[in-house]
Amino acid sequence: KAGVTQTPRYLIKTRGQQVTLSCSPISGHRSVSWYQQTPGQGLQFLFEYFSETQRNKGNFPGRFSGRQFSNSRSEMNVSTLELGDSALYLCASSPTGTTGMNTEAFFGQGTRLTVV
Amino acid sequence: AQTVTQSQPEMSVQEAETVTLSCTYDTSENNYYLFWYKQPPSRQMILVIRQEAYKQQNATENRFSVNFQKAAKSFSLKISDSQLGDTAMYFCAFMTLGAQKLVFGQGTRLTINP
């Protein structure tokens, strides 16, 4: 079974531009979550999607948005990039995303975004 | 809001030794999950072990075990017979039951020396 796939692996953008990151979850997983990892702030939750609906959102500005498609693939968009958006963006998928036993999150290898 | 604290930024031990990583958390919830994740230099976050708060028995996975003290809100990870491949960042994480959202600690950088 293929793991969580994130594309691209590396990205360099200029301040003010926008960027779209993609995440393909493990087959059969319907919940996709996004996290931002920086040396200063650590790992922070961005948002979670389940069946094309955003169920949870972290404390990030509106420049950060996402969506999920009917095949559970998810995209994350950051508009008007700032230097502080430079980070490793991790995507995780989970089997059910509901209360119950299968709450384990499986992570992708991340997209390293550098804003210059 | 939930918070997770890892008080040891870095640890270093010799191969084959036992090492314990500390984690405390703060929550008003009664039902939740706790996790330890490992992040090697490849950046892939790998689940090491998980604990359901309603279970009194401490979780174990081969060389990895936890000491879960619910009243003290403490969740430490013990690695026995440490191996070079255990070198990584280790993150303690909390998840409220019913919310697919992980709250992470700041991490502990563990180095296993030959």
A38-57 tens-digit pLDDT: 998 999 999 999 989 998 89
B13-34 tens-digit pLDDT: 999 999 999 999 999 988 899 9
Dist CA B71 CA B36 (whole Å)? 19
More confident residue, A94 or B12: B12
Q: Do A56 and B102 touch (CB under 8 A)?
A: no
Q: Cβ of B84 under 8 Å from any chain A Cβ?
A: no
pLDDT grade for A100, boundaries at 50, 70 and 90 = very low
Mean pLDDT of B1-14: 95
Has residue A99 got a pLDDT over 80? no
Mean pLDDT of B46-69: 92
What is the distance in angstroms between the Cα of A70 and the nearest Cα belonging to chain B? 19
The token duo for B13 is: 């031990």
Q: Cβ of A25 under 8 Å from any chain B Cβ?
A: no
B84-98 tens-digit pLDDT: 999 999 999 999 877
Residue A58 with chain B: CB contacts under 8 Å? 101
Residue type, B90: Y
Preceding omega of A39 cis (within 30 degrees of 0): no
Chain B interface mutation, best of A103, A107, A109, highest count of B Cβ atoms under 10 Å: A103
Mean pLDDT of A58-80: 96
Chain A interface mutation, best of B30, B45, B51, highest count of A Cβ atoms under 10 Å: B45
What is the distance in angstroms between the Cα of B62 and the nearest Cα belonging to chain A? 18
What is the distance in angstroms between the Cα of A42 and the nearest Cα belonging to chain B? 6
Q: Do A48 and B43 touch (CB under 8 A)?
A: no
Dist CA A5 CA A102 (whole Å)? 20
Name beta bridge partners: B25: B4
Residue A56, SS3 per DSSP: strand
**Interface size, chain A vs chain B, as Cβ–Cβ contacts under 8 Å:** 57
pLDDT at residue A116, rounded to an integer: 97
**Of B50, B98, B104, Cβ closest to residue A43:** B104
The token duo for A72 is: 């559970």
Q: Which residues, other chains included, contact B55 with Cβ-Cβ below 8 Å and sequence gap of 6+?
A: none
Q: Which residues, other chains included, contact B100 with Cβ-Cβ below 8 Å and sequence gap of 6+?
A: A31, A33, A48, A50, A55, A56, A94, A97, A98, A103, A105
Residue B99 with chain A: CB contacts under 8 Å? 55-56
